Every structure is written in structure tokens, then in C-alpha cells.
Amino acid sequence: MQEKIQELLKDRLTEDDYRKLTALKNQKLHRFVADAIELCNPDSVFVCTDSRKDVNFVREQAVATGDESTLAMEGHTVHFDGYHDQARDKANTKYLVPPEIQLGANLNQIEKEKGLSEVRGYLKNIMSGRRMFVRFFCLGPTNSDFSLSAVQLTDSSYVAHSEDLLYRSGYEQFKKLGDSEDFFRVLHSAGELENFVSRNVDKRRVYIDIEDDIVYSVNTQYAGNTIGFKKLCLRLAIRKADREGWLSEHMFVMGVHGPGERVTYFTGAFPSFCGKTSTAMIEKETVIGDDLAYLRRKNNGVYAVNVENGIFGIIHNVNAEDDPGIWKVLSSPGEVIFSNVLVADDTPYWEGDGREHPEKGVNHSGDWYRGKKDDDAKEIPPSHKNARYTIKLSGLDNLDERADDPEGVPVGGIIYGGRNARTWVPLKQAFDWDHGVITMGAILESETTAATLDAVGVRNFNPMSNLDFLSIPLERYIQNHLDFVKDIENPPLIFSVNYFLKDVHTGKYLNGMKDKYVWLKWMELRAHNEIDALRTPVGFIPKYEDLKRLFREVLDSDYTEEQYAEQFKIRIPENLNKIARMEEIYHTNVADTPQTLFDILAEQHGRLLEVVKKFGDYPSPFDL
């Protein structure tokens, strides 16, 4: 078998590419590449090492093939996905599951042999006339306990180029694997192209083989469906973490700067449109990563790394005033890939960028002019609401100096944030680890906004902001969190934030956009036990005098007793309703929910009832 594989590789690869591939002494890797060549039948294969020459070739091909076009500013390019290929395809993203594995009814899955037959049928000869790129990357820092090796095969030079910006090069890391079978694999094809975009999106499939750690993606170009190391391999990493006793999370990692030279590191999980990126990117602090984190126990603590090395960010509303750090990168020479924005005179524009837009140009719909409508008579905006930018983190002025530390960074706190107009106070701290996991992570919700297709105000249940990407039953995922710090004397503190609390009478937000700067400073002080807090039925909240001082120090603004009383009053009816709602969800939809969840919710319910007897439905923090 191995001899046949080597014969095929020698026959289909150039002498140079064969040398580069076989320098990696890994039979599983060779089988994977040989099988993909035989299945997809590319005209040529390019094996990309970590060398500058190889990486530059991929970038040059992205422009040469029409996958990307150059823009006026040096290093900037633009890519357009198909009109109906603008987001993650949740319906056609499925786990390939053998009969003996039970994932739980809430996970989208298909019987493995049936799914393999379908997706491999679509992949048959799909790269004929095209080049296959073989890319090697490391998830997490290289030469680290956190390092996970990964290989992707793709016929999209745009995908291959994007990965250069988003991940650490991993060819040399692969050499250290030897013949180990412990790595992730991705096979992708954009499929038949029409005007440089995937034509057969009705046959778009993203299938994840949880037994063999392989992602198959076909007939799509949108990065969320094609760059396998983002949310697709997050699913594989969750299963690996489950087996090995660590956590793979949908979290940012950032450094909050305290008194003197102290830096305290926080991770944070926020659903979409809840302030995750704006928190991670706060200019006065330092960023390690904005999206994915691995957490491990070491040195009697919890340490975290950023899985990635770049940002694939939503560009909607990014502007010089609100996002100066990102804006500087997007408006300076250097490597940036824009996707699905408006281009006029080789300049990119997008909704909310603070500039006057041209009346015509080119966007994801082709030639665009103001008032243009699609086949459903809907007006096409200048840029798609999910338009993106792809950059390296190294372009940011506030990148933390430990961003690539192979040891990771010690986690002082974990933050859960959701969009909640009526229930949660802007900031609170859990009583302990279990209380935080359950009342801040496992019952996390986010309300929909006008930016989504759902009705405004609908609550989406999203525990740990990771529900869409779970590859193990939810009950086991929660239990893994509960068990994670059992041997750790002083685990990270757990906090929740809510930037979207509203005045019930006026409907206006009760907090300013920059109040989060203050919340972070308070959390940093709490992580070192340098500031006191007020105990409430739902957790610890800040004392007024401390917030008054921090608002003056951090934002140079006044913070009144009236603001504090309104923002931090305990909304008991809403909190009781939320507990009842969560108990119903877990009783009805989650088999074998840990009893700890129901116990902790019952205890919180009891504390709320005790307070309502003394102070009524909406007690002021001054009452407590």
C-alpha cells in the first residue's frame, strides 16, 4: 500500500514538490495527500513550506488566478464570494457520525458512510484543470504544549492566502511530528467557478469526520466554510480537549493593565453583536486574540493561548473613531484582504466606515450602483453586512508581547457577555467557579438585533457562546467545565458583562460604549483581591465609590449615584423568569444535565426570593 502511495505521489508531483512532501516522514499525511489527488484529480500540486519564496508564490497566485484583485494601497487586495455564498452554511455543515457514537439530538449530523459517499461524490475530479495547494499550519504557538498541527488541501488560492495571515506556519512543526497520527486534516474545493466564484452552491457541503479528524468542504469559497482551522477545526478541537482534559473555547484572550507594570490576562466568550471584538481590541489594553482560545491546566493555574495568528473580522461599522487600531491597519500599506466590500477607483468602502460613498462601483453582486436590486426586488447595499477584513495580528500597535508565548498566559479571569436589555446588570462576579460556569456561562443568552434575520429581541440560548460549534453532548461540555479546575487552588474568577441594558421607559441604553474600559479595570483589581465588592443574590457587584473613582481615572468623567442605582439594581422578576426559562430548556432538551446546574439555579432562585421579601422587585444596590 505504502509503495503504491509513493508511486502515485512521485508520478503526480514535481521533483521539488515530492521532495518537500516526503521530507515529512508521516505515512498518514502521505496517504491523505495521495487519496485527495486521486479523488480530486488536480492538474498540478504545490507543496508549500514555511519559506518566504513558497508563501509569496501562493499570494501571487491569488491575484494571477483572479481569486483576488489588487487595490490602490500597497499590499491590499479584495476578494468577492458568490452572491449566495456570504456566510457559514449551518444547514449543510454536518458531523459524519458512525452508528456507535452518540452526539446528542441538538447536533446536526449525518450517518458517516452516507455523508462520505455524498461529499466524495461531489469532490470526484473537481480539481481537474486546477492546482491543489498543500498547506501546513500550527494551531496555537509553535514548540508548545498547546501546539496542534494541521494540514489543508485546497484549490482556492484565496483560501490558501488567507491562511497565511490567520495561522502560524507549520511545515517545520510537522517535521517534529515524525509518524504521529495526531493532526487535523482539511480537504476543500471551491468547485466549478463562474466569474471567479463558486457556481454550484446548491451542492455546498461542509462535513466533519469526528472519527478521523477530517473536514471536507466543497462548492463554497466563503472563509467560514472553507478555512478549516477556524470554526470547523474548533469542533474537532473540542472533541480532542474532551478526551485529554483541557478546553477549546470560542474566546478572546487579552491583557488588562493594572497598577504599575502589572498585566492580568482575561479570556472572554460573547455571542455575535455583543461586544466581543470591541472588548478584545480596546486600545488602552493589549490583545492576544479575538476569537479562539485553548485553555490548559499548568503550574497550579489555568493558561491560555490564541489558536490563531490573525483576524478574520466583520468590517461593518469599523471606522477611525470607534476602532482606531483596526482602522490604522486597514488604511496603511501592508497585507490586508478585504472581502465583499464595495470597490470604486481601487479603493474599498463599507457600511459604517464614516466616509462618503461613491454612487457606483463593484461589489459581491458585480457592477453596482445605488438603488440596484436583486432578483427578489431587495435593494443591494454597497457592502455586504458580513463583509470582512483579514489581517495579521502583528499589524496592531497594541499586540501583547506574550502573544506567541509557548507557555501561554496565566488566566486571571473569564468573562461571559451577552445582549440583554432587561435582566443582567452591566457587571458582576460569580461567587465561585461553579456558580460562574452555571449562572454566567451555561445559561448565556443573547437577544437578536435589527442586524439579524430574526425578530428583534428574540433570545438565543448560547451556552459559553459555543453552542453552534459543539461536537460533544452539551451536558458533557458543561461537566468538563465544572471539572476543569478541581485540582487548582485559586482558579480564575468568572465575570459577566452586559453592555446593552436599557431604560425600560425610554428604551435608551443605560451605559456608554466606553464604560467597558472601567469594567475591565474593576475586574483586574478583583483578580488580585485589591478592591471590595457588594454581595447580591446574583453575584458580587462593584461598590459605588469604586466605580466613581474608576470612571474619573479611566474616562475622566463623572459617574453619579443615580446612574449606579439604575444600572445595578437587581431586576428580580426578570432574573426569576430567566431561571425558569433555563430550567425548562435543560429539563426538556438536554439529557443527563449535571445536577449541579439545577442545584445552583435553585440556590439563586432562593436568594432572589429572600431579597424580594425585604426590598421588593427592584432593590437598589444601596439597599443591599
Catalytic residues: 274
What's the chain's length in residues? 624
CA 581 from chain centre, in angstroms, equals 27
CA 318 from chain centre, in angstroms, equals 18
Residue 572 sits at φ, ψ, to 5 deg, of -65, -45
What are 497's three cell numbers? 458583562
What are 396's three cell numbers? 496592531
Q: Report how far apart the first and last C-alpha atoms of the chain are (Å, whole number).
A: 73
d(CA 576, CA 200): 49
Give the number of C-alpha atoms closer than 13 A to the C-alpha of residue 364, restricted to the C-beta side.
27
Q: Is residue 258 a contact partner of residue 197, using CB atoms and an 8 Å limit?
A: no
What are 586's three cell numbers? 435543560
Q: Is residue 402 a contact partner of residue 380, using CB atoms and an 8 Å limit?
A: no
d(CA 289, CA 575): 32
CA 61 from chain centre, in angstroms, equals 28
Residue 582 sits at φ, ψ, to 5 deg, of -70, -40
Q: Nearest Cα to 433, choosing from 488, 470, 498, 499?
A: 488
CA distances from 385 to 16, 136, 315, 317, 362 (A): 43, 31, 8, 9, 15
Q: Is residue 364 a contact partner of residue 388, using CB atoms and an 8 Å limit?
A: no
Q: Is residue 466 a contact partner of residue 269, using CB atoms and an 8 Å limit?
A: yes
Q: Give the largest Cα separation in the chain, rounded.
A: 82
Helix, strand, or coil (residue 608): helix
Helix, strand, or coil (residue 164): helix
Q: Name the residue with cell 449541579.
A: 596
Q: Is residue 270 a contact partner of residue 465, using CB atoms and an 8 Å limit?
A: yes
Any idea what DSSP says for residue 423? S
Q: Is residue 252 a contact partner of residue 279, using CB atoms and an 8 Å limit?
A: yes
Identify residue 144 by its one-letter amino acid code.
Answer: S
d(CA 190, CA 157): 10
Q: Is residue 383 a contact partner of residue 350, using CB atoms and an 8 Å limit?
A: yes
E-strand stretches of 345-437: 347-349, 360-363, 366-369, 388-392, 409-417, 427-429
d(CA 197, CA 364): 10
d(CA 220, CA 342): 21
Any idea what DSSP says for residue 441? I
